[in-house]
Amino acid sequence: MPAHDLMLHRFPATLPDFERIDDDPVFDPALHLALGEPERHYSLADLGYESSQLTEPTPSTVAATDCFRILSDEGVAALYHVCKQLEAYTTSNPRISRNTRGGVYRSRFMRDLSLSPEVTEHLSALIDSPLLPHAMGHQLAHLNYQPLSLGENVDKWHYDTLQVDYVMFVTDPNAVDGGEFQYFLGTRDEMAQRHKAGKKIPPERVVAPPIPGAGYAVLMQGNYVVHQACGLQSPGERITFVNGYSFTNPAINDFTAVKQLRMADPVEIVNAEYARQMAYRSAQHLQDCINTPHYGDIDTTLDQLQRARNELDVAINTLRDTEDEAVKHFGD
């Protein structure tokens, strides 16, 4: 390869030393995908976000969709087979009793599904802005398994530490009692105030999108939509697959909460993944400066260079700050 032909990989060429699963199906988009459309979506304005309340700019007005299909029956069977093997690697944190993260390093199927260009293009159309699969391996293919104690919520009320994600049922939500996925029809700030004041959430402010079966998902701007996953009310199995994305446009600020991720994942891996996320963003700013220079427009050029440097400054400062932070959530 000529030295000037720089290649940036959205997924790294070297992986952490994670044990692979034994029986890994081959992902085949023609066989495993059955992409469908949601019937409706909620906008950020529907949730109460005025443009002045959007602390980070976003290129999309879509807050969350109701459900749409992603996997065929064959896709569900293959993913379930992988998830059952990854159940051996569940970990706990103060928000989630049993989750497996980093499955993209253990299963090629999981990696190829998470990175699928077909899915990414479909979701980009649904959210009306181009997306890229998240550059951090632990923000892809997050798996939630039902807690071992009945009635305990799968995940508490929270918002996500990334821009966009979908939550897909791997098991049939209609075959179990409980286990709903729910949105709060309100803003992060309102939820924070309610939680601080010990106020209950009125039932009319909670939406549980009907999910017809396994392989169906909801898409959301996870950093703006407060959501939770309810526990099962009788014994059963509930597995969900959560895949993260970033807006392709690097002008949209990164939303990685590194200190939160360090509470869930191995610190050295969080740091390495975050460094590449921010290095990639910096390179996106530099690409324009390199490939399409603005002759006679020094202000644009300086802006590009400054943005590239800002990403690195943020990353360096964040990585040097090793102080712990409690896991954030809004309770059950």
Residues that bind Fe ion (CB under 5 A): 160
Q: What is the CA radius of gyration of the chain?
A: 20
Distance of closest approach, residue 255 Cβ to Fe ion, in angstroms: 13
For Fe ion, the closer CB: 24 or 160? 160
> Look-up: residue for tokens 């910096």?
282
160 vs 180, beta carbon nearer Fe ion? 160
Question: 160 vs 311, which CB is nearer to Fe ion?
Answer: 160
Give the DSSP per-residue string, 34-82. -----S-EEETTTTT--GGG-SS--S--EEEE--EE-B-HHHHHHHHHH
- Phi and psi at 151, nearest 5°, equal 90, -20
- Smallest distance, Fe ion to C-beta of residue 160, A: 4
Return the number of the residue (181 or 280) whose C-beta is nearest Fe ion. 181
For Fe ion, give the closer residue by CB, 160 or 273.
160
Q: Compute the least distance from the CB of residue 158 to Fe ion, in Å.
A: 6
φ, ψ (nearest 5 deg) of residue 312: -70, -40
CB of 330 to Fe ion, least distance (A): 12
How far from 177 is each of 77, 116, 232, 278, 294, CA to CA, in Å? 21, 32, 6, 42, 60
Q: What angle do CA 121, 220, 39 make, to 5 degrees?
A: 75
**Inter-residue contact 65 to 166 (CB < 8 Å):** no
How far CA 48 is from CA of 106, 159, 331, in Å, comes to 40, 15, 21
Q: Min. distance of Cβ 224 from Fe ion in angstroms?
A: 12
Distances (CA, A) of 228 to 44, 95, 187, 208, 330: 18, 10, 14, 10, 9
Residue 185 vs 308, nearer CB to Fe ion: 185
The DSSP secondary-structure symbol of 105 reads: G
Residue labelled with tokens 């891996």: 269
Q: Whose CB is nearest to Fe ion?
A: 160
Q: Nearest to residue 181, comparing CAs of 141, 150, 220, 148?
A: 220
Shorter beta-carbon distance to Fe ion: residue 85 or 260: 260
As measured in angstroms, the least distance from the Cβ of 194 to Fe ion is 18
Q: How far is the CB of 222 from Fe ion (least distance, A)?
A: 6
Helix axis angle, 298-320 to 267-291, nearest 10°: 170
Q: Which is nearer to Fe ion, 27 or 42 (CB)?
A: 42
| CB of 95 vs Fe ion, minimal distance in Å | 9
